[in-house]
């Protein structure tokens, strides 16, 4: 169990016991998140629960000196199962607040001024043509078959933006760009994650199932394995219908959630070539999709973006592609409509999340990279 997971004596009665039940529920649902992301959300939601318990305790105790906490901005590309949102009443508008109590850490990466960018020009003109070109490029790409005993390896660089509060003084900060490495077996049962923003150890942590309760959830659209993806239909209409069906009730709107679900498949999975190409044909059928003439990924590479504005959060989710080869480069979420979070104005042009794919390959062993021999474990 992570250091920031609250440990409440289950023999106690009252609110503490309810939070313990919520914590157990979260542990079961966390594995339903997109591969490699369960721990990211688990840490933040468990910290949320921890802070709520602290607030309840402080109502009957003298005020303690203020400590550091931070609130992560809404990120439409990552959507928790509906059941997870019932865990705590302190989940408001997608903002996650981390308490400064013992056992709650801020993450293993430094922060600095909030990242900003030019919004670029967004238009619906040329959307079908661009997605068709991207689909053709995807179909011609080299996507090897993942065999039993092999692992999908995905290496990326990324950063998040959040509201950080120190002694009741809040400011908007962004993480420094940091490397993330993820391994997952073809069946999705075995995996490993190295991400200093969420790991307690530089060695990373296992994603291997079953979870702490002995559950091995089945793969689904929100948490797909390679084997699951290989069985999906490649008919765009049927595929979109399945996405809407499986993500019903998630996200701010069905269309935005469908767009975000496809975005997750692009960034943290390795779909077979036929499905990979079909995903872009499917995205072309989602209302509200636009083209942004210029977007920059986390590695500083300029490209053209396929995007959609989430009217609820005011954020635009962008998938970034090379302008010539149409190869997928990465993704980012940009604030288009200014909003206030915890009294802090999130201005237009704020980069709430940015990511760039650096390597995606099939390897023969856990923790093996394309340039290193297989390692045990």
Q: What is the pLDDT of residues 330-368, one digit of tens each?
A: 999 999 999 988 789 999 999 999 999 999 999 999 999
pLDDT band at 372 (very low <50, low <70, confident <90, very high): low
| pTM tops 0.85, yes or no | no
Q: Percent of the chain, pLDDT > 70?
A: 70
Give 3-state DSSP helix, strand, coil % of the chain, rounded to 5: 25, 30, 45
* 185-221 pLDDT per residue, tens: 999 999 999 999 988 888 999 988 876 777 787 899 9
Stronger pLDDT, 167 or 20, i.e. the higher one: 167
* 2-31 pLDDT per residue, tens: 333 233 333 334 444 443 444 444 433 333
Q: Which pLDDT score is estimated for 63?
A: 43
pLDDT band at 154 (very low <50, low <70, confident <90, very high): very high
157: pLDDT strictly greater than 70: yes
Q: Percent of the chain, pLDDT > 90?
A: 58
Q: Which pLDDT score is estimated for 168?
A: 81
Closest CA to 331 of 257, 266, 239, 249: 266
pLDDT band at 67 (very low <50, low <70, confident <90, very high): very low
314: left (phi over 0), alpha (psi -120 to 50) or beta: left
96: pLDDT strictly greater than 60: no
pLDDT band at 107 (very low <50, low <70, confident <90, very high): low
Q: Determine the Cα–Cα distance for residues 283 and 243; give it in Å rounded to an integer.
A: 11
β-strand pairing of 151-166 with 69-72? antiparallel
* 217-248 pLDDT per residue, tens: 789 998 899 999 999 999 999 999 999 999 99
Are the beta carbons of 250 and 79 closer than 8 angstroms?
Answer: yes
β-strand pairing of 302-310 with 205-206? unpaired
127: pLDDT strictly greater than 50: yes
pLDDT band at 41 (very low <50, low <70, confident <90, very high): very low
Are the beta carbons of 304 and 280 closer than 8 angstroms?
Answer: no
42: pLDDT strictly greater than 50: no
Q: Which pLDDT score is estimated for 5?
A: 29
Q: Which helix (H) or strand (E) holds 259?
A: helix 254-267
Q: Which pLDDT score is estimated for 371?
A: 77
Strands (E), the chain: 69-72, 96-98, 111-113, 122-123, 151-166, 169-175, 178-185, 191-194, 205-206, 289-296, 302-310, 315-321, 328-335, 339-341, 344-346, 351-363
Indicate the average pLDDT of the chain. 77
Q: Which pLDDT score is estimated for 65?
A: 40
pLDDT band at 167 (very low <50, low <70, confident <90, very high): confident
Q: Which pLDDT score is estimated for 313?
A: 93
323: pLDDT strictly greater than 50: yes
Stronger pLDDT, 178 or 87, i.e. the higher one: 178
Q: Which pLDDT score is estimated for 79?
A: 29
289: pLDDT strictly greater than 60: yes
Retrieve residue 124's tokens: 């619906």
Q: Which pLDDT score is estimated for 234?
A: 97
pLDDT band at 259 (very low <50, low <70, confident <90, very high): very high
Q: Which pLDDT score is estimated for 134?
A: 97
304: pLDDT strictly greater than 90: yes
């Amino acid at each position: 169990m992570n250091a920031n997971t609250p440990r409440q004596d289950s023999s106690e009665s009252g609110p503490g016991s309810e939070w313990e039940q919520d914590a157990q529920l979260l542990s079961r649902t966390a594995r339903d998140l997109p591969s490699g992301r369960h721990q990211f959300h688990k840490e933040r939601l468990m910290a949320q629960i921890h802070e709520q318990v602290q607030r309840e305790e402080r109502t009957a105790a003298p005020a303690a000196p203020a400590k550091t906490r931070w609130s992560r901005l809404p990120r439409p590309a990552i959507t928790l199962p509906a059941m997870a949102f019932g865990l705590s009443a302190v989940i408001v508008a997608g903002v996650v607040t981390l308490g400064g109590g013992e056992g709650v850490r801020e993450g293993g990466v430094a922060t600095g001024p909030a990242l900003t960018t030019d919004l670029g020009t967004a238009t619906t003109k040329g959307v079908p043509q661009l997605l068709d070109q991207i689909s053709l490029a995807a179909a011609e790409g080299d996507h090897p078959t993942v065999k039993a005993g092999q692992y999908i390896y995905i290496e990326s660089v990324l950063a998040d933006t959040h509201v950080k509060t120190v002694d009741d003084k809040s400011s908007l900060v962004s993480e420094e760009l940091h490397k993330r490495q993820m391994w997952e077996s073809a069946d999705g049962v075995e995996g490993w994650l190295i991400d200093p923003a969420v790991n307690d150890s530089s060695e990373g942590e296992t994603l291997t199932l079953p979870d702490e309760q002995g559950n091995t959830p089945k793969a689904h659209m929100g948490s797909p394995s390679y084997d699951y993806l290989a069985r999906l239909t490649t008919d765009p209409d049927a595929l979109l219908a399945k996405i809407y069906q499986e993500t019903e009730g998630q996200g701010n709107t069905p269309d935005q959630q469908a767009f975000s679900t496809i975005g997750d498949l692009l960034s943290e999975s390795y779909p077979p070539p036929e499905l990979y190409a079909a995903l872009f044909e499917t995205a072309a059928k989602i209302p509200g999709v636009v083209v942004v003439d210029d977007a920059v990924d986390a590695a500083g590479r300029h490209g053209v973006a396929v995007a959609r504005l989430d009217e609820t959060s005011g954020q635009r989710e962008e998938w970034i592609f090379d302008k010539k080869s149409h190869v997928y480069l990465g993704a980012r979420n940009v604030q288009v409509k200014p909003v206030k979070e915890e009294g802090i104005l999130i201005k237009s042009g704020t980069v709430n999340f940015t990511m760039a794919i650096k390597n995606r390959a099939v390897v023969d062993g856990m923790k093996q990279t394309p340039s290193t021999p297989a390692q045990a474990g």
